Structure 1
């Protein structure tokens, strides 16, 4: 059970007979673009690249229905039409399969447990600015990839909470071993100690090797960033998602008993090192819940997400679910200089 939980610019749009129609969104809901009789999804997206990117810039997310995406290769072809540069995942917190450059399976996570709101790789120095989610097979129940506007979440959070995190930032602590959580190879692309240390130095991560050969890391990141294009302040972090109090209680109790409070696969703290209390994590997740928009997946759907403007989550589900994610267009929003070092 525990291993299942943690491991494992082109020409402007040309007129076309099937140009696609945009469904006016309900208040607070992102738009849906309807495609009809599509024989080549990548070509359809390529012709409409500017329109799609404009919708993402305006709303933070747009869903395209009717593309008939069936395989990871279909998603890879669409990615190259709508994005400039795929992103190779590093510092993964859970295992996933790599289908192509920048194209991955969903993270391994028990279907009966939700994944809370977060921004993909918000703890890395360089993160993807654009995400593509493609539903190859929908679940029979639940399993939506829900979204929330991070600028609206920031405005709704208590001012004193925001002030402290904006002033101090946040800390992510991680413990890597061969039993729980992502392995060195899954997170860093290698298990060579020298290569891992070089990556940590270049990416402002403090590290220490434990007597048993396992690795512990600690990295300081900003909790609030300005969007690189709009300049809007956004609540951009994984403070709540990767915190011990978001784990299922029985999982947290087992991990603390087995590995100790400092040996959890991941945990978050205030920027000065103080623990983040359970009530603060609950506050953050309550605000996320109030700003969550969800839409059931249909087979072949595509969702484009501005990773800084929009947080996303995955609901619990039943039945099969095959949602592929693509990471693209890296940015370095408000990141510190690289000062990673070996911990004392």
Structure 2
């Protein structure tokens, strides 16, 4: 199913259905992959985000999460450009117990504790009166095993 001019919805075996058969998470791929160089593809992705932002916002509101797959986000700097393309107001990580550090721009590490320490389901910075309404995740290096970041719709759970 096409979703806008730049994105196409695809399925994953791990998706779950909730409500009126709504699949979670929503998974979007590029409508077409061209033989352009990586820098050009990234700039195309950034243009797509900016031009389709109202559509993407309505989809995330309806579906809870959008998982972008197949896009040329290769470095933390690329990921920062993607986050910036959405043009949401920045939120600083304030007062949390997570061991985090700034990578570049708006990009910070996740909790840097050893992998054997499990991080339970939580609401990011819910202790603040003005908590973030959007979170972005990026995996720079896929782990050999584990490394899952479960995301749930707490209003459904």
| TM-score grouping bracket, smaller chain normalisation | 0.7 to 0.9
Q: Which has the higher strand share?
A: 1
Name the larger-Rg structure.
Answer: 1
Q: How many residue pairs were aligned?
A: 137
Partner of 2:8: 21
What CA distance in whole angstroms lies between the structure 1 residues aligned with 2:99 and 2:88? 26
| Counterpart contact for 2:98–2:110, Cα < 8 Å | no
How big is each residue's C-alpha offset from its partner over 1:135-189, in whole Å with a ceiling of 9 and x where there is no partner?
Answer: 2221111212111111122xxxxxxxxxxxxxxxxxxxxxxxxxxxxxxxxxxxx
Partner of 2:80: 76
Structure number with greater CO (CA < 8 Å, separation at least 6) is 1
What CA distance in whole angstroms lies between the structure 2 residues aligned with 1:136 and 1:43? 22
Unaligned runs of 5+ in 1: 1-14, 154-344
Partner of 2:67: 63
Does 2:150 align with 1:146? yes
Cα deviation, residue 101, structure 1: 4.0
TM-score w.r.t. structure 1 length?
0.37
What CA distance in whole angstroms lies between the structure 2 residues aligned with 1:120 and 1:102? 15
Classify the secondary structure of the residue corresponding to 2:80: helix
Tell me which stretches of 4 or more aligned residues in structure 1 moved more than 4 Å.
none
Alignment of structure 1 residues 1-344 onto 2, 5 Å: 16=5, 19-24=6-11, 26-28=16-18, 29-35=24-30, 36-37=32-33, 39-40=41-42, 41-153=45-157
Q: Which has the higher helix share?
A: 1
Cα deviation, residue 23, structure 1: 2.1
How big is each residue's C-alpha offset from its partner over 1:38-58, in whole Å with a ceiling of 9 and x where there is no partner?
Answer: 711322322322222111100
TM-score w.r.t. structure 2 length?
0.77
Cα deviation, residue 108, structure 1: 1.0
Classify the secondary structure of the residue corresponding to 1:33: strand
| Counterpart contact for 1:42–1:81, Cα < 8 Å | yes
What CA distance in whole angstroms lies between the structure 1 residues aligned with 2:8 and 2:128? 37
Unaligned runs of 5+ in 2: 19-23, 35-40
Classify the secondary structure of the residue corresponding to 1:129: coil
